[in-house]
Structure formats: C-alpha cells, structure tokens
Structure 1
C-alpha cells in the first residue's frame, strides 16, 4: 500500500528508477565510444557490451545507436523546465533567471555532456538527436507559458515564445560547450553567463 501511495504521489517506482539509471549509463558509454572511435566507427553491440547488457536489451531502450545519447541531451532541458515551473507570475523572465542563479550557483557540467554537445555540431546523426530533444521540449514549454498567460498552448504567439526560449537554451548550451572545451571544471557562473546573454538577446526581439 505504501509503495502504491508513493507512486500515486508522483515518485517514480523502483523499476522506473532502475530503467532511467540504465538509460543514463548507456548514454554515457555511447558518448565515450563515439569520442574514441567516432559515431560511424561505433556499433550498438559495442555500446551494449560496454554497459554489460545484451544488444536486445539496448534496442529495447533505444531505436538507434545515436539515440542512445538522448537522456544526456534531455537532462538539461528537463532541469530548465523544472525551474521555470517556479517562475512567479509578477516577475519577468530575465529577473527570475537572474534571481535563481544568484540564489544557488549551478554545479559544474559533466565533461561527457560537453563532449556530446560539441559532437552534435559536427555529426549530422547526433545533431538530429539534439534537435529532437529540443523539439520534445517545445510543447512542454508552450503549455507552461499558456498556463502563465491564461492562453492556449496552440496559439501561434505562445508557440513562437516557446520556440524563442527553447532556441536560447540551445544556443547557450552550444556556446558554453564550445568556449569551455578545455576547462572541464567550468562552473555554474560560466553557465549562468552564457544563459543570461542568450535569454537577454531573445527578450530584445528582432532588431532588423
């Protein structure tokens, strides 16, 4: 009964947590192998072997070797969306982000994620997975903005605003990964700078 109550309250079940942990382990090994051998030089069987699972299990979780990295690419977006859910109704976006960043410095980003984001800029297949992660986040952002404004997530204006925030998050991530390629210990202050610059540019609108 307790397990059912916890699950009903929104906490993932033990099986779901184990599944998620395995997906992240697969993603980390995939990035390591991609970095060592290239994407084309790596097979799904090699990724499965590195994790210690069968190829059948791997393909049960992911449809392609490139999609194995999706959990790592989605993690940052999931974090950003979770933070935006605490955005006060009487506060502008830039003020909220600035306040949030001052309240607690972001942790250093794992080098494996920076390696992966850099690879997405040169490998078409990984680029497609990176763009998929952002595309998956779009309706979530649109719904969040719609709830805030009292409008509809299907409204074109809402969709454009969601796409603008989404694009700013992607541009900030790529800029951070490029600028701090040789600094694996880059911390939250550097991430915050990239994020605020991107969101400020988005909030300015089109000056053309």
Structure 2
C-alpha cells in the first residue's frame, strides 16, 4: 500500500494524478493491481496517500531521540541521525518534491503540519523520559516544540533553497537539519556558551543565560 504514494510524489504527478488512476503492483504478488476502491478505503485523499513519505523523516528522528541518553549532547543526537539517514535515502527525492509543493498546495501543507503536530507530544514524552521525569513539564514541552520546529524548518529551508540537481547528495539535507537543531539548542543566544564558563558554580551572570 505504501507504494501507492510514489506516483503522487513526483512534482508534476501530484497535480495530475487522481485517486482513481492510482494503482501499483504489490511486490508480494508479482502481478495484479490494487483497485482505486481499495486505495480509497485506506486513503480518502491523495494528500493522505503521500503522508507516509512526509512522515518518514519524523519516524527516523524519533528512533534517534529514543536512543539519545541523558549524558549525551546535541552533537551525539546529530551523529545518530546521520547514521540512520541512509535508511530514508530512497524516499528523499519524493519527500523534497512534496515539501516544495506544500507552499502552493493547501491540502498537502495541512497534512505536513498535522504530521508534525502529532509528533510533538511524542517528542515531549521521550524527552521527559530522558530527563527522568514522570511526564512532560513546561520546559520539556518547549524543548519538544523547538525540536519539532527545527526539524520541519530545516527540511523546508533545504527543499526551498537547494538546487534539485544536487539535493539528493548524501549528507547535505542532514547538515541543514543539523544546523537548525543547533540553532534551537542555542535558544536566543547568538553564541554557544563556553563549556569552561558554565562549569563554574555558580556561573557568571553573563554566561549560559538565555534571557
């Protein structure tokens, strides 16, 4: 069923394809096609049909977040995300095509934003567990929101500002998303605080402050 999303993932195809003309050959059977009636049962619209392609990156990010230990920093999280990036390489072109279209397709934009909205409380729950809390408090919820926005904005910025001819090269998308995550980790500070400065107890008022 997931393969049905691929024809819609093409920039031109998304505008031209309809649910009634979508079909594909299931790998398990080798022949035969899934009817439009079956597709409608699972996907009421073509926007919902491509949702698995839009959420693949979120699923990978969630896996990395779950393995991110309390003693590790953002650099470790970024390393983990780079390690798993190859798993989504086959769908990268489709993802970027769809993200580019979210600017002109309200229905697709709604699916993209809803996917991130649904991911945010899950991020918060994982971050709370990482912090040893019974559930997300306000600080954790803000961290989850910043993480979520950084992931979404990083992908959107990359899709909008990178030449499609080179956009699928390994490591480029991950570098942009990493830059967005580091910006979120810094908060409102323009510079990353000095490790030596923050090690003092208590640290100087000018150090490690985000207010």
Secondary structure of the structure 1 residue equivalent to 2:188: coil
Decide whether the 8 Å contact of 1:145 with 1:162 is kept in 2.
yes
Give the length in aligned residue pairs: 181
Match of 2:6 in 1: 28
1:42-93, CA deviations, whole angstroms, 9 ceiling, x for partnerless residues? 321122479832222111111222111100011110001101111122112x
Q: 1:98 to 1:44 in 2, by over 3 A?
A: closer
Are 2:173 and 1:191 equivalent residues in the alignment?
Answer: yes
Match of 1:156 in 2: 138
User: Hey, what's the Cα distance between the residues in 1 that align with 2:122 and 2:85?
Assistant: 23
Match of 1:13 in 2: none
Decide whether the 8 Å contact of 1:119 with 1:126 is kept in 2.
yes
CA deviation after TM superposition for structure 1 residue 137, in Å? 1.0
Are 2:100 and 1:118 equivalent residues in the alignment?
Answer: yes
Secondary structure of the structure 2 residue equivalent to 1:106: helix
1:105-160, CA deviations, whole angstroms, 9 ceiling, x for partnerless residues? 83346322211111112211100010111112112111101101122445232222
Match of 2:35 in 1: 54
User: Hey, what's the Cα distance between the residues in 2 that align with 1:126 and 1:150?
Assistant: 37
Q: What is the alpha-carbon root mean square deviation over aligned residues?
A: 2.5
More displaced, 156-165 or 172-181?
172-181
**Structure 2 segments unaligned to the other structure (5+ residues):** 27-32, 190-210
Listed as ranges, the matches of 1:128-143 within 5 Å are 128-143=110-125
Decide whether the 8 Å contact of 2:47 with 2:107 is kept in 1.
yes
TM-score by length of 2: 0.75
Match of 2:17 in 1: 42
Decide whether the 8 Å contact of 1:172 with 1:198 is kept in 2.
yes
**Structure 1 segments unaligned to the other structure (5+ residues):** 1-21
CA deviation after TM superposition for structure 1 residue 26, in Å? 1.3
TM-score by length of 1: 0.76
Q: 1:156 to 1:196 in 2, by over 3 A?
A: same
Match of 2:150 in 1: 168
Which has the higher relative contact order, 1 or 2, with Cα contacts under 8 A spaced 6 or more apart?
1
User: Hey, what's the Cα distance between the residues in 2 that align with 1:155 and 1:105?
Assistant: 29
Match of 1:95 in 2: 75
CA deviation after TM superposition for structure 1 residue 192, in Å? 2.5
Q: 1:154 to 1:169 in 2, by over 3 A?
A: same
Secondary structure of the structure 2 residue equivalent to 1:91: coil
CA deviation after TM superposition for structure 1 residue 182, in Å? 2.2
Match of 1:106 in 2: 85
